[in-house]
Structure 1
Amino acid sequence: MRIGQTSFIVFVSKFAKAALGFVATIYFARVLGAEILGYYALILALVAWLELGGKIGISSAITKRLSEGEEQSAYFTAGAIAIGILAAVLSVGVIVFRDAVNDYVGVEAAVFVVFLLVLKLVHSLLTAVLQGEHLVHIYGLLDPLKTGSRAVIQIGLVFAGFGLTGMIVGKGVGILIASLVALVFVSVTLARPSTEHFRSLFDYAKYSWLGNLESRSFNDVDIVILGALVSPALVGIYSVAWSIAKFLTVFGTAVKATLFPELSVADAEGDSETVSALVSDALTYGGLVIIPGLFGAILLGDRLLLLYGSEFVQGTAVLGVLIVATLARGYQKQLVNVLNGIDRPDVAFRVNAVAIVANVVLNVVLIVWLGWLGAAIATALSATIGLSLSLRELHRLVAFDIPYGELARQLSAAVVMAAIVFGGQNAIEATGILEQNVVILVLLVAVGAGTYFTTLFTISRRFRSTVVANSPVRIPLVS
């Protein structure tokens, strides 16, 4: 397996980021309530969509061209100029239409949107460079730094009584700190780009932008539509359920980030065997954490949401469906990542176009029909459609085997885990000690995780070999 220790470093950093965000969100939910979290989620969703317009695939193109190793400074400068112009245009647009922005969110939000938009575009430029320069481990370490600094500042400002304003300012400062650190590691410099450099970036971006749009659609289109149809409190509860579901994607995201430059190099060298092996690795480990997470959510979802407050427990069903969505989406992202890595953004474009249309249409129809649960179902269905299509398209371009045996072993380990957790939960509840929810939840999660990985380590030779090969210390009995 070529994912190796770099992928593990990225995973640990993203896990730390997600864990910090998880703890911080619990504090905000308990102090501010679901309604304020709903306003915050809508502001972030608007910023995310505008950020997408400010990149239009250029950041992905920068990563791709820099990863090829030629004229890196010129490509960086061309990308920075393009993103800077778009940032200025979008910021002016938000100010001009500030009344519509404020009316949609429900609070004075236009200035907040511009503040976060500019910072996020700068950050996206710098992280694109880090990935393109094969500094994926540095890129990964920025996440916990950004989230940690953001969480500390937000908690301090919320504690001081600044509420929603404190949340926004803390978010922005966290992005700024991470961007300054990224700047230290960026080795490219400014250089005069030619027309060819701009053309090369846009030739790639004209296809890859839809991949970013599809990603944004998967993450936020449901929240954006819910914002127009349900109360801010329900949006807040839904966003919390989403944050938990996304927590489970950290390992798959680390695998994806690590594989892209490897795929790009292998494709440039015409090494089809390595590309096939990397596809197999991606499918083997893309759902490593999400599969047991789904079983865990079914058994412990209500207890998990109770951490945020009693009003959040009504999102238990939504949480389960969203984790199904992230599972299908996780595999789809791995496959589309391969398409982009082998320089076939045109194929990825077609896959993403179908997924976007399906997501938007299904969300509108099912939210009107079923309410907020319909949003989760629509997201899961559109992710499944995207997965099926990406699998079919990639099979036409790359010869690879789907690791059915490994996936079956992961599922089997998850079933064993679920049985142990279910028995443990019943045993605890039989004692009548129900008020210590945090202690019970932590205990059951720890037992479940230990059971899952121990079982998988025992029954899967491939997983066992991967752990041994990438362990920094010798593992007795197996190594």
Structure 2
Amino acid sequence: MRLGQTSVIHFASRFSASVLGFVATVFIGRILGSDGLGIYYLVLSMIAWSGIITKMGVPSAITKRVSEEQTQSEYATAGVSLSTVLFVIVAIFVLVFQESVNSYIGYPAAEFVVLLLFVNLIQSLVNAVLRGQQLVHLSGIFIPIRTGTRSVVQIAALLAGLGIVGLFVGYMIGYALVSVLGLWIAVRSFDRIALPRPSHFQSIIAYAKFSWIGALRSRAFNWVDVSILGFFVSSSLIGIYTAAWNIAVFLILFGGSLSQTLFPEMSSMSANDDRKAVADLFETALAFAGLILIPGLVGGTLLGEQLLQVYGEEFSQGAVVLSILIVATLIQGYQRQFTNTLNALDRPDLSFRINAVFIVGNVILNLSVIPSFGVVGAAVATTTSVAVSLGVAYATLSSLIEFSIPAGEIIKQWVAAAVMGLVVYSGLWFESTYSLFDVNIVVVFVLVGLGAGVYFAMLFGLSGRFRQTIIDNLPPQVRRISI
């Protein structure tokens, strides 16, 4: 029950953050157009790639070692020290080659890249410590605070006429705020504060040398296509692609909350050599990984044009891309649970191989198809590569622990989503025939809300496991009434 509540809190926090981020992105798209949005996301893609070098798997190593509940502060300090050195190296490199950086982005943003990279790194390290301390719910709560602050400042800056610079300022303020708050909580949560010994550095490096590719894999999933598109298509098309991508990744939030919540528990069980308990938690993760993604795929396919029109009329041409990207996030939602479990079993070397398969495949496929098929090719390349990596992940984990795929639960989710799709399609036809609403965003909210209600009502009736999970995680007073 505690894990369920923690997952819900973390998901609700990330969901709120995504809503705030969505609103901010709509403002950016409407005020700066797809070209301005494309420039902003090219900068963020540089932050993502540069961040891999500054972190090199250190945040994951910090979470793992701190979760083992021994000499926590020493491991945290060792990890922060290593990442600080890496940041200085990357910052110098960016500033030395700033002309090339500015030419790629199409905007003089090299100095901002360094500043944004710094606040991003600090926030990642603080979150890693909090997750290791099993304070996942707190790290989750910081997400809407960060995104809300960033979004408010960015929108205010846009309205004040600061343009793209205002976007960078809002980003820095949002990340800096939660970094300070998180650091204060993390330090207070340590039993004691002590300087690390060489063994702590060695232990962090031993784990990070394999886990860094997990961060690279995450960046590849989110940014390889955008980065390569920057060489072949206009900023406007990149803006349309990233608008579709923002909607698609919105649906993967719950799966991410599951993996972050379960990792410390799995890690602790693995340290006690309780692999049966790890397998049970993994099966639970699989049962709920598609809870939001499956209806999201159905709804996103039906309402793709309407969803993208919220950003502006020019964005609606990305509807096909949106459907393909949602398929990619659905597959990724399951694949993440496999690699998360491998890391919890202290086998980052195996996750390394799985992630390497995805990264190499994703880069090769994107480079092969983007020149001919543009943004649609980028979406197909990402989907194909993540599907291949899921197959490799299944084969790898099944060789370590015994588990079963909760096919019954997944089928029930698809059945509920199919019923939802019929209702949404009927509503869409009815609205287009009789023109009940003149404003597109009203149509989106009504049909999305209707679809969500139908889906969860159907699933509540079909799935005893889902129904019991909901009841178990209700407040005690409500639970007694429901029983």
TM-score by length of 1: 0.98
Q: Deviations over 1:291-321 (max 9, x none)?
A: 0000001111100111110000011111110
- Distance in 2 (CA, whole Å) between partners of 1:80 and 1:442 is 43
Instruction: Give the counterpart letter for 1:449 in structure 2.
Output: A
- Distance in 1 (CA, whole Å) between partners of 2:136 and 2:481 is 32
Instruction: Note the 1:50-449 alignment, pairs <5 A.
Output: 50-186=50-186, 187-188=189-190, 191-433=194-436, 435-449=438-452
Structure 1 residue runs of 4+, over 4 Å off? 475-478
- Distance in 2 (CA, whole Å) between partners of 1:439 and 1:81 is 50
Checking the alignment, whether the CA contact within 8 Å between 2:60 and 2:128 is kept in structure 1 is: yes
Counterpart of 1:470 (choices 465, 470, 473) is 473
Structure 2 equivalent of residue 450 of structure 1:
453
- 3-state SS of paired residue (1:148): helix
Instruction: Give the counterpart letter for 1:148 in structure 2.
Output: G
Q: Deviations over 1:435-475 (max 9, x none)?
A: 32121111111110000000000000000010000111425
Instruction: Give the counterpart letter for 1:141 in structure 2.
Output: I
Give 1:433 shift.
Answer: 3.6
Checking the alignment, whether the CA contact within 8 Å between 1:38 and 1:235 is kept in structure 2 is: yes
- Distance in 2 (CA, whole Å) between partners of 1:438 and 1:325 is 25
- Distance in 2 (CA, whole Å) between partners of 1:396 and 1:421 is 42
Q: Deviations over 1:28-74 (max 9, x none)?
A: 11111000000000000001110111000011101100000111111
- Distance in 1 (CA, whole Å) between partners of 2:308 and 2:18 is 16
Percent identical pairs in the alignment equals 46
Bigger mean CA offset, 2-11 vs 145-154? 2-11
Structure 1 equivalent of residue 33 of structure 2:
33
- Distance in 2 (CA, whole Å) between partners of 1:102 and 1:223 is 16
- Distance in 2 (CA, whole Å) between partners of 1:81 and 1:231 is 40
Instruction: Give the counterpart letter for 1:5 in structure 2.
Output: Q
Aligned residues: 479
User: Over the residues paired in the alignment, what is the CA RMSD in angstroms?
Assistant: 1.2
Change (3 A) 1:474 1:229: same
- Distance in 2 (CA, whole Å) between partners of 1:427 and 1:296 is 16
Change (3 A) 1:130 1:476: closer
* Gapped regions of structure 1 (runs ≥ 5): none
- 3-state SS of paired residue (1:192): coil
Instruction: Give the counterpart letter for 1:128 in structure 2.
Output: A
Instruction: Give the counterpart letter for 1:122 in structure 2.
Output: I
- 3-state SS of paired residue (2:23): helix
Q: Deviations over 1:328-359 (max 9, x none)?
A: 01111111000001111111111011111011
Instruction: Give the counterpart letter for 2:443 in structure 1.
Output: I
- 3-state SS of paired residue (2:291): coil
- Distance in 2 (CA, whole Å) between partners of 1:69 and 1:179 is 23
- Distance in 2 (CA, whole Å) between partners of 1:357 and 1:268 is 32
Checking the alignment, whether the CA contact within 8 Å between 1:2 and 1:278 is kept in structure 2 is: no
- 3-state SS of paired residue (2:478): coil
Bigger mean CA offset, 293-302 vs 432-441? 432-441
Give 1:369 shift.
Answer: 2.3
- Distance in 1 (CA, whole Å) between partners of 2:481 and 2:146 is 40
- 3-state SS of paired residue (2:151): helix
Checking the alignment, whether the CA contact within 8 Å between 1:77 and 1:190 is kept in structure 2 is: no
- 3-state SS of paired residue (2:469): helix
* Gapped regions of structure 2 (runs ≥ 5): none
Change (3 A) 1:288 1:412: same
Give 1:2 shift.
Answer: 6.5
Instruction: Give the counterpart letter for 1:404 in structure 2.
Output: A
Q: Deviations over 1:204-234 (max 9, x none)?
A: 0011001111111010000000011100011
- 3-state SS of paired residue (2:242): helix
- Distance in 2 (CA, whole Å) between partners of 1:62 and 1:151 is 29
